[in-house]
Amino acid sequence: MSSPWKLTWLMGMNRLGRCTTGITVLVFALAFGANLQSSAFAASPTSPGQQAAEVLRTSGVTGGLVVHIGCGDGRLTVALRANDRYLVHGLDADARHVQKARQNIRAAGLYGPVAVEQWVGERLPYADSLVNLAVVESPELVAAAELMRVLVPGGVALIRQKDGWKKLTKDWSADLGEWTHFLHGADNNAVARDQRVGPPRRLQWLAEPRFARSHEHLASISVVVSAGGRLFAIVDEGPTESVVLPSKWRLVARDAFNGVLLWKRPIRRWESQLRGFRTGPPQVQRRLVAVGNRVYVTLGYGEPISVLDAATGRTLQVFEGTEGTEEITFRDGRLYLLLGEERGSDSHGIDSRTAERRGQKPVPTQKTVAALDAASGRWLWRLRSDETVELLPTTLTVGHGRLFFHNLNHLVCVDTASGKVLWRTERRLSRIRPGWSVPTVVAYQDVVLSADRSITKKEQQPPTSPTVQWIIDIGGGGAPGELIAYSADTGERLWSTPCAEGYNAPVDVFVADGLVWVGTTPRRKGPDFLVGRDPRTGEVKRRIDPSRAYTNPGMPHHRCYRNKATDRFIFGGRAGVELIDLRSGQVHRNQWIRGTCQHGVLPCNGLLYTPPDSCACFIQAKLPGFKALASAASNAGAAKPKKVDRLQRGPAYAEFSTLSSQPSSRDRTGDWPTYRHDAARSGFTSEPVPANLQLRWKVRLPGRLSAPTIADGKVFVSSIDQHTVHALDAATGRLLWSFTAGGRVDSPPTFYRGRVLFGSADGWVYCLRAADGALAWRFRAAPEQRRIVAFGQVESAWPVPGSVLIVHDVAYCVAGRSSVLDGGMYLYRLDPQTGRELSVTPVRHIDPKTGEQQETIRGFGMEGALVDVLSSDGTSVFLKQHRFDLEGRPQDRTVPHLFTPTGFLDDTWWHRTYWLFGTEFLAGWSGWWQMGNQTPAGRLLVFNEQTIYGYGRSFYPGGNAGQWNRGERYRLFAAPKSVASVTPRSAETRRGRPPQGQKARKGRKGRGRAERRNRPPQNRSLVQCRWSVEPPYEAKALLLAADTLFLAGPPADAPFSIESLEGRNGVRLLAVSAEDGRIVSEWELEALPVLDGLAAAYGRLYLTLQSGELICFGR
């Protein structure tokens, strides 16, 4: 489409774009890559379903985030969710329209994946490049430039006109890069041609899984690639709670710009999840390639290549005869494959030296290299010869019309057109190598680069093995070696330079910004990537000083994966993600994020993707989940946010002045007015609950439920994903009222003097009249209206946890996710009667001007904070390990309290975390277990004035012991509250100071002895329990009512039985004597409980189940 046509069309668009001249709009169109089309179809008075079908067909958008601007009654909004690939969000200025739309969406049973909010202003409440399709009901509602800001590349806006619809498409920008293979492309050059990826400052989207399954076993993410604005990953979705439970390998597709789940396909047979950590196999990452609208993958070991539609996951073709495929590459319409023997599992990396000692003679492995037409699957050629014997994994590389690979003795070059060997050049490779250790081969224009570890003296002694002896070695590697550059045309050696492997990772070789950057420091422990060389001559063309990326980062070693790059930055993994500017050498340190083990990060599409990990390093600041992170927003073409009153009053506001004389919730006996009963989150009520209970009533509510709160004769509970708070009669279960907010309500509301207060993921705090659910006020705690996508729904970048804290007639809440993202978090003090802001405290650990991480590193830990439900002991307010006074001012962490580093609401039971009663949680492989062995800790804890009761592991095995390898078992216990540790035994040492009563020792050796002497034992607990028993059922929910413990859960063998874990072997509610742990009574439950879903009031028990039921037991 020519620019003059755009100008002609746009000059008639003044009311749509609100532009004064066509010239202005033309500049906008060129700047944003706008592709504007004439009327695509005429509007007609058809049904909402027919309209939605026509809108989706015309837009060509097959999934992702759909925004309906001017949504009215929401009927078309509902219809726009044609299937589960669409997430729909409606906006309307009229509060009455929003209310009606919510009613219609709830009636359709779709609230959550379809949601609406009130919106007033010129700036849309979305992050940049987030929306796939914007359906705009009137040209006057939003400017075209603002639509272009929020649309993803390739996104579409349909704007209703009098005579039909106008279509606006945002072109794909040339400064965005894709990542189609494990190492970016078929050339193995792990460098994205992306100019937008930069230092991470903002969260774009967040998704499951929150954690990888195990730190000591196979990585839970095999590979991640991206093409066509979509992201594809092979993920183990098996239970995080126990790695010994079966895997659930899936190929998962998401929208690359908002993380909306598009589809999943099962992986039938894959590498065992119990394979040893850092042992490979490296080629498992080479079984997935995405190009354009096609995905090429082996859906399991021994499976042929399937060609999938990238938008839907539908199988388009299966290429017969490819069952032995181990690696896939794509170049110029062809697939180049490495095929081995068809088998059901990959034995690569098994210790072959052990096999030799057993008398098993090694047999050279014959491989086949082949080419197929990617469209038809037609075989073009096969190469199976002496050159393909003992072909090294991941060395298959394509570029310059050539295909390259390494065997043990030669670098081989093959003509991609015919499959004929053009040349081979001798380079003998190491035959004894760890399972992860493979050569790095990169093709760049007319040069091919080969980097590998050097041959040891032992290997040079006869007789030499004809095979690779793969060994199990997780010690770090880092072997020195050599990078050799060859002519791609002739195989002539051009130049060479020393290199070295990374930490349990092959040599890093990048051709970025036209220069060769190679890792030379063993294990990447010290300053590296110091020079950029000419690819053809090896001449040093640029020198930089990235030493700041390696200076005392707290981590003793580099992360266990390869680094990645763009033409602007190397994305190092020394401790977190360190961006090294290839022009200036400037370093941007980000220890609060990291890549997943064995794979690393992914820089493309203008975003930095960090898959979930299972590492406890920097756990105080590291946001869990699969994340996409953006650099600072450009704000180009963006409308200015409209200043609005952050406090909005509802119809019940005026009436609350008459309620101030009502007794506060702390004066009412028998209530359970807030999450876990009280501000301390004790899970304890002094009111007894009899052990001879019967089911009184049960009610099914929509969606995933929170734990309940009970006060004023009512039960309050939230349907989390439906954004809805419900009130029910506590005696009968009759539904009294429901209120829908603008986002998820992740935990139950707090009752206070006739009011119900709660936070929402829309960034607002709500106060309702408890009698009828009428809105009294709402306060916007988020600093601005910016929506992202989190766990499949539209949320604020600064969500507020549902359970608001009330202390001495002041409401406390926190907005945000991380103290190092999006400008940090904000701790508010509010007047609960009026919503008036009393104070706000920024909680951030970044420089507010630059966004750079503050350099406060303590061993494996760093200063940082993550959002959670707040707690208080009456004199302090706690946000996890952080402490504030009642005025919101930060204080020293010296007061023991209940907390967990992953948050009260985390239900994954990830193996490197637990709840504890203390002051601090130590991070890292050498720290995460320490507090659990010296203070009461467990999966769930409850406590009264004298005693802490818990359900958790008998001890926490230190180091990399893994799960269930040292004899630890789950137990129910009681321990004196007085044994709660104030300060971790090794915390002071880790801050660089000797423990109290000891003199400082000079030198590294002395410090190590002091720390080891001060560290608690690894395989036993120091906590002296009053009693400890192993109950027959797990405690997924736990409370203490007077002198009786109530717990609910599946059989105790759940960590070893998937049937038990999923509740298929029964679920029980137990009453246990708090005096000695003896079971007093038990009841059968129909479904698993919600985590911590028990509450007690009025002599009754209330419990929410994962089936969506709220049940009441009483006499």
- The segments of the chain whose pLDDT lies below 50 read 1-32, 36-40, 343-345, 349, 351, 353, 357-358, 636-637, 659, 661, 663-667, 986-1011
What span, in angstroms and rounded, lies between the C-alpha atoms of 443 and 289? 18
Beta bridge partners, 826, equal: 815, 842
What span, in angstroms and rounded, lies between the C-alpha atoms of 578 and 8? 48
393, 283 contact by CB (below 8 A): yes
CA neighbours closer than 13 Å in the CB half-sphere of residue 287: 32
1084, 1066 contact by CB (below 8 A): yes
SS3 call for 6: helix
Domain end: 1030, 1059, 1093, which one?
Answer: 1030
- Identify the domain containing residue 203 by its residue range: 191-630
176 assigned to some structural domain = no
Domain end: 988, 1008, 1030, which one?
Answer: 1030
Written as one letter, the residue type at 174 is A
Tokens representing 1011 are: 């720390």
Give residue-wise pLDDT tens across range 301-357: 999 999 999 999 999 999 999 999 999 999 999 999 999 975 444 555 454 545 554
**Residues 1039, 995 within the same domain:** no
Peptide bond into 651 cis (omega under 30): no
Q: Report which DSSP code applies to 904.
A: T
Cα 235 → chain centroid: 12
Provide the CATH number for the domain around residue 20. 3.40.50.150
Report pLDDT for 270.
95
Q: Report which DSSP code applies to 9.
A: H
Report pLDDT for 13.
31
183 assigned to some structural domain = no
Q: Report which DSSP code applies to 818.
A: B
Report the candidate in 743, 722, 721 with the shortest Cα–Cα distance to residue 788: 743
**Residues 718, 801 within the same domain:** yes
Residue the block writes with tokens 């739309």 = 101
242: left (phi over 0), alpha (psi -120 to 50) or beta: beta
637 assigned to some structural domain = no
Q: Alpha-carbon torsion 193, 198, 200, 203, what sign?
A: negative
1073, 1044 contact by CB (below 8 A): yes
**Residues 1025, 1109 within the same domain:** no
- Reduce the secondary structure of 279-312 to three states and give it as a string: CCCHHHHHCEEEECCEEEEECCCCCCEEEEECCC
Report the candidate in 917, 850, 852, 848 with the shortest Cα–Cα distance to residue 881: 917
Residues 6+ apart with CB under 8 A from 334: 371, 372, 373, 374, 380, 416
SS3 call for 1041: strand
Residues 6+ apart with CB under 8 A from 2: none
Query: Based on the number of CB atoms within 10 Å of its own CB, is 177 exposed (0-12), middle (13-18) or buried (19 or more)?
Result: buried
**Residues 285, 235 within the same domain:** yes
Written as one letter, the residue type at 705 is L
Report the candidate in 978, 974, 988, 965 with the shortest Cα–Cα distance to residue 942: 974
Strand 775-780's sheet: what is its strand order? 647-649, 775-780, 764-769, 755-759, 750-752
**Residues 913, 1051 within the same domain:** no
Give the number of other CB atoms < 10 A from CB of residue 107.
Answer: 11
Give residue-wise pLDDT tens across range 74-95: 999 999 999 999 999 999 999 9
Provide the CATH number for the domain around residue 538. 2.130.10.10
Q: What angle do CA 517, 521, 524 make, to 5 degrees?
A: 90
**Residues 985, 865 within the same domain:** no
Q: How many residues does the chain have?
A: 1115
Beta bridge partners, 37, equal: 167
**Residues 372, 456 within the same domain:** yes
- Can you give the C-alpha Rg of the chain in angstroms? 30
What span, in angstroms and rounded, lies between the C-alpha atoms of 682 and 717? 19
E-assigned strand segments in 651-693: 684-685
975, 716 contact by CB (below 8 A): no
481 assigned to some structural domain = yes
**Residues 697, 770 within the same domain:** yes
Residue the block writes with tokens 């070695």 = 473
For the chain, the 3-state helix, strand and coil shares in percent, each to the nearest 5, are 10, 40, 50
- Reduce the secondary structure of 418-450 to three states and give it as a string: CCCEEEEEECCCCCEEECCCCCEEEEECCEEEE
178 assigned to some structural domain = no
Report pLDDT for 490.
98
Number of H helices, E strands in the chain: 12, 79
Tokens representing 850 are: 């630059």
748, 803 contact by CB (below 8 A): yes
**Residues 1003, 1051 within the same domain:** no
Tokens representing 338 are: 């490495």
What span, in angstroms and rounded, lies between the C-alpha atoms of 831 and 828? 10
Domain end: 604, 630, 656, which one?
Answer: 630
Give the number of other CB atoms < 10 A from CB of residue 598.
Answer: 26
E-assigned strand segments in 850-1004: 857-858, 861-862, 871-872, 876-879, 882-885, 890-891, 897-899, 915-918, 937-938, 940-943, 947-953, 970-976
**Consecutive H or E run containing 51:** helix 48-59
Decide the pairing of beta strands 325-331 and 1089-1097: unpaired
What span, in angstroms and rounded, lies between the C-alpha atoms of 836 and 839? 9
636 assigned to some structural domain = no
Provide the CATH number for the domain around residue 667. 2.40.128.630
334 assigned to some structural domain = yes
Tokens representing 102 are: 């919510």
Query: Based on the number of CB atoms within 10 Å of its own CB, is 689 exposed (0-12), middle (13-18) or buried (19 or more)?
Result: buried
Count of domains forming the chain? 4
762 assigned to some structural domain = yes
**Residues 899, 863 within the same domain:** yes
**Residues 347, 426 within the same domain:** yes
Report the candidate in 154, 162, 137, 168 with the shortest Cα–Cα distance to residue 71: 137
**Residues 894, 940 within the same domain:** no
Residue the block writes with tokens 């200015």 = 640
Report pLDDT for 624.
96
